[in-house]
Amino acid sequence: MGEPAKRNPDETPQKDPLPVSAEVDISFVIPVYNEAPIIDDLYSRLSKVVAGLGKTCELLFIDDGSDDGSYQQLQALREKDSSIRIIRFTRNFGQQAAVLAGFRHCRGAIIVQLDSDLQNPPEEIPKLLDAMTDDIELVVTVPRKRKDTWTRVAGSRVLQCFAQKMLGPSCKLNLSSFRALRPSVVDKIDQCKDKSQFMAVLMSWMGVPTAEVEVEHSAREKGVTKYGLSQLIRLTWDIVTGYSNFPLRLVTYMGLLGASTGFGLMAFLIFQRVVRGILVDGMVLLSAAFAFLAGIQLLSMGLLGEYLGRVHLRVQDRPDYIVDKVIE
Ligand code: UDP
Ligand code: MG
């Protein structure tokens, strides 16, 4: 299962108020937002799986500002199980922030991330751990058959399609939130300043040695998905703007098209008037001049945006590359 973690979360940019002492083989990172009806089922299924692993484990629940009693339920579980740790956010910061907090505060040599709504069956965890061989840093999962509503699946497909386009063909994108990783991946996340981004996309972007396993996916039996249409659109837009300057370049291209069409039309009309003596309709000439000027304006905006985009990517401070190994 590899070395116990040496990483100290207190060295990460955001200080960890939790004690870091015990050596832990596996940390389970579980974001929770208003999942009160399902927490007890989750705990009973997960603890059975954990007991069967025969490893030192910790269950790290991140309560992302729940107001339905989830936190109180987690506290009650903590009373009877000392392997449970809880991080409570002051308010709802979103699943990505909750997962990141969990990654930073956990102590395991292997980290397993799973949703708290039992859509990722805990019984599949051993498969992920088996795939985490010494040369692997990240194990991603592919659901055998996704059991979500068609609107949720369609939303994910659109997001996947945009994100894959932005990342390019050399990145194999996996958006599942059921995965296992080593602390070295968290260190790499911490090298990027844009970590509130979609963790799954950031990890796919890194291209660390990855194994893929097929797992079951269950329908949500209690509670509702927290990802409605507006959240999915926001996520898609975050990925499009976060991973490329494509929207800015689109403005530049539109400007170039408008300016060249206007210019061509104007040149043609002037040629008709001067060389062939054909009288040109004033409105047509005006439209050509307008298209030309509007194009120039868009082009200038796009060019300014390109520079701004460079600053934006710089501010994110993502490393230019991630080294897998150096063999001397
Ligand atoms: N979640 C969270 N904060 C949020 C939204 C969701 O911690 O703002 C948690 C949620 O409790 C669940 C996981 O993230 O454990 C995935 O959420 P959900 O099941 O709603 O997403 P879906 O399965 O539809 O992708
Ligand atoms: Mg779910």
**By alpha-carbon position, which residue is closest to atom 24 of ligand 1?**
225
Whether pLDDT at 45 is above 60: yes
**327 within domain boundaries:** no
**303 within domain boundaries:** yes
Give the Å distance between the CA of 288 and the centre of ligand 1: 52
**By alpha-carbon position, which residue is closest to atom 13 of ligand 1?**
115
Which residues are paired to 59 by β-bridges? Answer: 28, 84
Cβ atoms of 1 and 25 within 8 Å: the answer is yes
- Mark whether 151 and 59 lie in a shared domain: yes
Pocket test for ligand 1, best of 30, 32, 33, 150 (most atoms within 8 A of CB): 33
- Mark whether 288 and 154 lie in a shared domain: no
- Give the pLDDT band (50/70/90) at residue 322: low
Instruction: Work out the average pLDDT over 125-145.
Output: 96
- Mark whether 111 and 11 lie in a shared domain: yes
- Give the pLDDT band (50/70/90) at residue 323: low
Give the Å distance between the CA of 19 and the centre of ligand 2: 30
- Kindly report the CA angle at 6 between 4 and 12, in degrees rounded to 5? 135
What kind and span of H or E run contains 261? helix 246-274
Residue spans of beta strands (DSSP E) within 162-277: 179-181, 210-215
Of 223, 243, 263, the one marking the end of a domain is 243
- Mark whether 308 and 202 lie in a shared domain: no
- Mark whether 223 and 306 lie in a shared domain: no
- Mark whether 55 and 137 lie in a shared domain: yes
Of 243, 267, 295, the one marking the end of a domain is 243
The domain that holds 146 is classified in CATH as 3.90.550.10
Express as a percent the part of the chain with pLDDT over 90. 48
Give the Å distance between the CA of 32 and the centre of ligand 1: 7
pLDDT at residue 175, as a whole number:
92
- Mark whether 152 and 253 lie in a shared domain: no
**279 within domain boundaries:** yes
- What's the domain range around 277? 246-316
**256 within domain boundaries:** yes
Which residues are paired to 215 by β-bridges? Answer: 143
Pocket test for ligand 1, best of 39, 100, 115, 174 (most atoms within 8 A of CB): 115
**326 within domain boundaries:** no
Ligand 1 atom nearest to CA at 32: 11
pLDDT at residue 6, as a whole number:
47
**By alpha-carbon position, which residue is closest to atom 19 of ligand 1?**
225
Instruction: Work out the average pLDDT over 235-254.
Output: 84
Residues having CB closer than 6 A to ligand 1 are 31-33, 35, 64, 92, 94-95, 98, 115-117, 119, 152, 225-227
Ligand number nearest CA of 38 is 1
- Mark whether 161 and 24 lie in a shared domain: yes
Instruction: Work out the average pLDDT over 77-81.
Output: 94
- Give the pLDDT band (50/70/90) at residue 16: very low
Q: How far apart are CA 44 and CA 274, in angstroms?
A: 87
Residue 31, SS3 per DSSP:
strand
Give the Å distance between the CA of 237 and the centre of ligand 2: 21
- Which of 122-126, 143-147, 248-252: highest mean pLDDT? 122-126
Residue 113, SS3 per DSSP:
strand
- Mark whether 19 and 118 lie in a shared domain: yes
- Mark whether 114 and 165 lie in a shared domain: yes
- How many folded domains does the chain comprise? 2
- Give the pLDDT band (50/70/90) at residue 86: very high
- Which of 84-88, 195-199, 261-265: highest mean pLDDT? 84-88
pLDDT in tens, 287-304: 888 888 888 888 888 888
**325 within domain boundaries:** no
- Mark whether 156 and 171 lie in a shared domain: yes
- Mark whether 111 and 202 lie in a shared domain: yes
pLDDT in tens, 27-36: 999 999 999 9
Of 243, 263, 282, the one marking the end of a domain is 243
pLDDT in tens, 157-194: 988 998 898 888 999 999 999 999 999 999 999 888 77
